[in-house]
Structure 1
Amino acid sequence: MGMTMTQKILAAHAGLDFVEAGQLINANLDIVLGNDITTPVAINEFEKCGANSVFSKEKIILVMDHFTPNKDIKSAQQCKRSRDFANQYGISHFYDVGTVGIEHALLPEQGLVGPGDCIIGADSHTCTYGALGAFSTGVGSTDMAAGMITGKAWFKVPTAIKVILKNKPNPYVGGKDVILHLIGKIGVDGALYQSIEYTGDGVAALSMDDRFTIANMAIEAGAKNGIFPVDEKTLEYCKDRYQGDLQVFEADADAEYTRVIEIDLAALKPTVALPHLPENTKTVQEAKGLKIDQSVIGSCTNGRISDMRLAAQILKGKRVAEGVRCIVIPATQDIYLQCLKEGLAQIFVEAGAVFSVPTCGPCMGGHMGILAEGERAVSTTNRNFVGRMGHTDSEIILSSVAVAAASALTGVITDPNDLD
């Protein structure tokens, strides 16, 4: 019996020729990631252990993205705690105001993660880097602390689901629609502690940004990780960018999967997830007409430059509906600057939207877009749990950028194809 792509990466990092599902291994880590919420907790555990050194100054990455620029005294204290730790131990990759970006867009952009890497992060959407053919997964702050000290982490080798993607998507159908369709099909626990491994001719039809979006939301199906094969688009993305030693792993032809799912990209429609779970999916045509109070375009799921360009394409020369708050958040400083250079920021402001600095703010109900009771938002973020973006009596509809932008113009959930 052969190994899946994920199993091969884990075997290599554990120094083993072969691993099988359910096996416990101790793997060497390429990256240990933390943010301004999880890092202070990890530092507490680090100090409780009596540790006085880190395994690598270059392989620990701390990104102050959730509550920055600091919204209150508590968030300022969390960042200071992280900043002091980074200074004490000479952490090379510490990202703060002025250099910060949303972590899961920032790390690929800066070439800090790449094919074949084994990555843990004290944030559940660390699985994003599977788009590059890496094994990456979210962990708790205690595991982050152990990783910072030892450069290792324990894993139970996961089983896997194979998702075969076929054909090419139609206009206004992208990575967000693919992953929402999949989660709607298998449920929020449909891939519990499994690897979701994508394959098929349809992979080539997806941009790297589409793949980042799909891998990012693997956790919303309960998965340990999501992972894409390394192809020409991956290698082109990594060229002159990725700072590590690129390693390409492929699943064996006789690798074992718990199930195989086929998705015809050509048959997909723009899709949304209604409150209060990502599995509560409908096509936009089924959900259209629902009134919204706010539209959020951004996050680690959909805040990249292609997302900004698509939003601007739809909003250009038009006006956000009266009574709707439209918030546009580029995911990194580089994307922010590119929006300025291309005139996208001007399009957003002239359309009546607000153009924000990079932040996770509204996605997890932190700041920059909190909902009051009775309000409903359409959002390109990744979770729509009760109270996720504010009051427990508010509602979140997850969507693609195209749907969020179109809905901002009409004040109701709208199929972007209906605007043409």
Structure 2
Amino acid sequence: MGKNLAEKILSEKTGSDVKSGDIVVSPVDWALVQDTTGPLTVREFLALELPKLANPAHTILFIDHAAPSPQKQLSCDHTFLRKFANDYGAVLSDVGEGVCHQIMAEKYARPGDVIVGADSHTVTAGGLGAFATGMGSSDVAAAFGLGKTWFRVPETFFIRMTGKFQNHVTAKDVILHLIGLIGADGATYKALEFGGDGVADMSVTDRLTIANMAVEAGAKVGLFPSDILTQEYLTQQGRAGDYRSLTADAGAVYERIIDIDLSNLEPTIAKPHTVDNTATVTELKGTKVDQVFIGTCTNGRLSDLKQAAEILRGKRRNPGTRLLVGPASPQVLLAGMKLGYIQTLVEAGAVILPPGCAGCLGVHQGVLGDGEVCLSTANRNFLGRMGNPEGYIYLSSTPTAAASAITGVITDPREVA
């Protein structure tokens, strides 16, 4: 019987013939934390009294969530993480060096890897064909010290995509549509495997966006095959040697198959205060927006800067709407500067934030006022997510966000000349 991607990766990694539902102990290729979960993980690791990290060069501490730090308590957490990295030889990615999930894609994640992180959006690396998942701090601490962890091999939903995108319809609209279709708990501890003819033309950056939000449907992992586009991406990153072809077997077994015709999708938005509370842009047109935020590990890539710049070129943001843009990494920021996207965005009235999570989690850089509405390209809109339970967060694609920044209300990007 053929294996789906989750079964195939965990079979290879464990050296055994596994199937959905099996309990396995798997080696871990990469283990990561960030500055909100990292201090707890490190303390749990120290409490285990293990003499060393199992693989220091593949243990990464990211300071990206509150970067630069807005308060002394967080600054002390950062100091704690820096000292641990120095003492134990772990890799440190410090302030301004980018969002952990973007950096994992640019520098580290490989097809077939098993990656665990004390951050739920570790699933992003599934866009490169890695079995990547978020875990609790205690589990990641154990992986730090042992170099392995246990999983129940998840059952898999196959998301079969066909057709091609309409203009200004993007991968973000795909995943918002899917989450609205199956619900925030519709894929709890499942693998979402994405395939079909529609994937062949879907860039790796699009795949990373979709994989990033698989967890918003409860999924353990979001997986894409590794193909020629994966090879091109890794080659562009100077990592051609990290490529390997990885696809599900013929005759792979899936618990459920869900069909999505990309050509029929419309720009989609998640309304407050849950990601599965979705509607089309047509239904929400005219909703006042106080702030637009383009960035994060979901939509802070070069393709997003390009999409925003193309819509905003020669225009200005609405005077009643703030526009914040956060590139996900220095690589993205520098390329955006070289290609003129950053200049276009600044001329349109955008504030460019340093590479990092910025306004996404509500620690600093974009906290909402009471009653304010933000249209964000981030991955979550829970009550209080952007620092104020009296604020309202709508989630959208980058084209929808950019178009809405011009008008000051939610706007269909297909209608902006």
What is aligned with 1:79? Answer: 78
For residues 401 and 392 of structure 1, what CA distance do their matches in structure 2 show?
24
CA-CA distance at 1:247 after TM superposition: 4.1
Question: What is the 5 A alignment of 1:110-259?
Answer: 110=107, 112-239=108-235, 241-242=238-239, 245-259=242-256
Q: SS at the partner of 1:170? A: coil
Q: SS at the partner of 1:257? A: coil
Runs of 5+ in structure 1 lacking a partner? Answer: none
User: Which residue identity is paired with 1:323?
Assistant: G
For residues 339 and 254 of structure 2, what CA distance do their matches in structure 1 show?
45
CA-CA distance at 1:109 after TM superposition: 1.4
2:183–2:276: 8 Å Cα contact kept in structure 1? yes
Match of 1:398 among 383, 390, 395: 395
User: Which residue identity is paired with 2:27?
Assistant: N
Deviations 1:329-364 (A, max 9, x none): 101011111222222222222211101111212111
CA-CA distance at 1:244 after TM superposition: 6.8
1:309–1:344: 8 Å Cα contact kept in structure 2? yes
For residues 23 and 135 of structure 1, what CA distance do their matches in structure 2 show?
16
Question: What is the 5 A alignment of 1:397-416?
Answer: 397-416=394-413
For residues 377 and 416 of structure 1, what CA distance do their matches in structure 2 show?
17
What is aligned with 1:355? Answer: 352
Deviations 1:292-316 (A, max 9, x none): 1000000000000010111111111
Match of 1:271 among 263, 268, 273: 268
Asked if residue 324 in structure 1 is aligned to residue 301 in structure 2, the reply is no
Asked if residue 66 in structure 1 is aligned to residue 65 in structure 2, the reply is yes
For residues 139 and 244 of structure 1, what CA distance do their matches in structure 2 show?
28
1:117–1:135: 8 Å Cα contact kept in structure 2? yes
What is aligned with 2:306? Answer: 309
1:113–1:242: 8 Å Cα contact kept in structure 2? no
Q: SS at the partner of 2:213? A: helix
Match of 2:297 among 295, 300, 303: 300
For residues 69 and 306 of structure 2, what CA distance do their matches in structure 1 show?
28
Q: SS at the partner of 1:205? A: coil
TM-aligned CA distance change 1:248 to 1:153, over 3 Å: farther
Identity of aligned residues (%): 48
CA-CA distance at 1:106 after TM superposition: 1.2
User: Which residue identity is paired with 2:95?
Assistant: V
CA-CA distance at 1:254 after TM superposition: 2.5
Asked if residue 6 in structure 1 is aligned to residue 6 in structure 2, the reply is yes
For residues 79 and 144 of structure 1, what CA distance do their matches in structure 2 show?
18
With 210-219 and 343-352 compared, the bigger mean Cα shift is at 343-352
2:290–2:321: 8 Å Cα contact kept in structure 1? yes
1:133–1:248: 8 Å Cα contact kept in structure 2? no
Asked if residue 31 in structure 1 is aligned to residue 24 in structure 2, the reply is no
User: Which residue identity is paired with 2:182?
Assistant: I
Deviations 1:5-61 (A, max 9, x none): 111111111221x11222111000110011111111111111111122001121111
TM-aligned CA distance change 1:399 to 1:306, over 3 Å: same
What is aligned with 1:341? Answer: 338
2:34–2:65: 8 Å Cα contact kept in structure 1? yes
TM (norm. structure 1) is 0.97
CA-CA distance at 1:249 after TM superposition: 3.2
Match of 2:98 among 74, 96, 101: 101
User: Which residue identity is paired with 1:335?
Assistant: V
Deviations 1:339-390 (A, max 9, x none): 2222222222221110111121211111100011101100000001111112
User: Which residue identity is paired with 2:105?
Assistant: P
Match of 1:364 among 355, 361, 364: 361
Runs of 5+ in structure 2 lacking a partner? Answer: none
For residues 242 and 302 of structure 2, what CA distance do their matches in structure 1 show?
26
2:37–2:119: 8 Å Cα contact kept in structure 1? yes
For residues 245 and 379 of structure 1, what CA distance do their matches in structure 2 show?
33
For residues 195 and 51 of structure 1, what CA distance do their matches in structure 2 show?
32
User: Which residue identity is paired with 2:116?
Assistant: I
2:293–2:376: 8 Å Cα contact kept in structure 1? yes
What is aligned with 2:45? Answer: 46
For residues 205 and 171 of structure 1, what CA distance do their matches in structure 2 show?
14
1:362–1:369: 8 Å Cα contact kept in structure 2? yes
Q: How many residues align?
A: 416
1:276–1:386: 8 Å Cα contact kept in structure 2? yes
For residues 342 and 23 of structure 1, what CA distance do their matches in structure 2 show?
49
